[in-house]
């Protein structure tokens, strides 16, 4: 049974059509999917779902963008977060049923399923082996899971073939981002100014605003994202200012030997 409160039943997995980015992934008609939105960082007061969030990341968070501006949406995300921290068994039971419904919908329409679990969080979902000793990725091997993450260890330790992660560049993790590139992972970068460069740090920049299906992206590229919402006024260095090129300058010796020559 789905979690019940005074507002009725709750889904953990929201339809992809409710999110600006994942909605674009539906245009081709080949895929259908869902996204999980929780209350980010430690805003809920229950725990921290974004343990690697930087100051710039927190200040620029798109938590209140789109449908997130509505009080009812914020309240729903808080209820999901509360369920995650207080009643994990029920949380995962409901999530399982939501993915089952997605699979049924995809089978009926002849589409391929995708799920983004960390819409506004950075949880290591692989740690929760709650399905008879299996985690969510192992329980649903035919679902394409993907996420952005600032957890470098989670990125390089991932052994799930159906879970793709893109490392998130922030103002405090530039060297780890370059290491991720050197290992063949993709790295996302937010750029100020409304336009994306063709290359950054000598690496091809792919337009990540066109659609969100990271498992279809080529490897070893920078996923460029245009600064949106509060990020447009970022001064922390979280959003890349191409006029300053501070990351290029500070990490140029390491970058030149480990990435360009690799």
Q: How does pLDDT run along the chain (262 residues), one tens digit per residue?
A: 344 443 346 899 999 998 888 999 999 999 999 999 999 988 889 999 999 988 888 777 755 455 444 577 788 899 999 999 999 999 999 999 999 999 999 999 999 999 999 999 999 999 999 999 999 999 999 999 999 999 999 999 999 999 999 999 999 999 999 999 999 999 999 999 889 999 998 899 999 999 999 999 999 999 999 998 888 888 888 999 888 755 554 454 444 444 443 3
- For helices 246-255 and 174-182, the axis angle rounded to 10 degrees is 50
Q: From CA 183, how far away is CA 218, in angstroms rounded?
A: 13
Q: From CA 16, how far away is CA 123, in angstroms rounded?
A: 19
Q: From CA 79, how far away is CA 75, in angstroms rounded?
A: 6
- pTM: predicted TM-score of the whole model, two decimal places: 0.88
Distances (CA, A) of 124 to 90, 147, 225: 18, 10, 23
Within 8 A by CB and 6+ apart from 45, the residues are none
Written as six digits, the tokens of 106 are 């995809």
């Amino acid at each position: 049974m789905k979690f019940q409160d005074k507002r009725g039943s709750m889904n953990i997995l929201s339809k992809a059509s409710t999110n600006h980015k994942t909605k674009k992934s539906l245009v081709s008609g080949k895929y259908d999917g869902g996204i999980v939105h929780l209350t980010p960082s430690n805003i809920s007061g229950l725990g921290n779902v974004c343990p690697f969030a930087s100051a710039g990341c927190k200040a620029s968070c798109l938590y209140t963008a789109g449908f997130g501006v509505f009080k009812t949406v914020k309240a729903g995300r808080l209820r999901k977060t509360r369920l995650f921290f207080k009643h994990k068994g029920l949380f995962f039971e409901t999530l399982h049923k939501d993915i089952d419904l997605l699979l049924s919908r995809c089978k009926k329409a002849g589409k391929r399923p995708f799920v983004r679990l960390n819409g506004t969080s950075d949880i290591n979902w692989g740690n929760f082996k709650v399905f008879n000793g299996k985690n969510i990725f192992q329980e649903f091997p035919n679902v394409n899971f993907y996420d952005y993450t600032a957890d470098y260890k989670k990125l390089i330790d991932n052994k799930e073939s159906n879970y793709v992660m893109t490392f998130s560049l922030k103002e405090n993790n530039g060297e780890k981002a370059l290491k991720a590139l050197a290992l063949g992972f993709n790295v996302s970068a937010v750029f100020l100014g409304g336009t994306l460069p063709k290359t950054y740090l000598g690496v091809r920049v792919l337009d990540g605003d066109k659609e969100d299906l990271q498992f279809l992206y080529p490897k070893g590229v920078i996923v460029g994202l245009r600064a949106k919402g509060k990020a447009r006024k970022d001064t922390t260095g979280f959003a890349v200012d191409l006029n300053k090129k501070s990351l290029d300058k500070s990490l140029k010796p390491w970058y030149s030997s480990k990435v360009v020559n690799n």
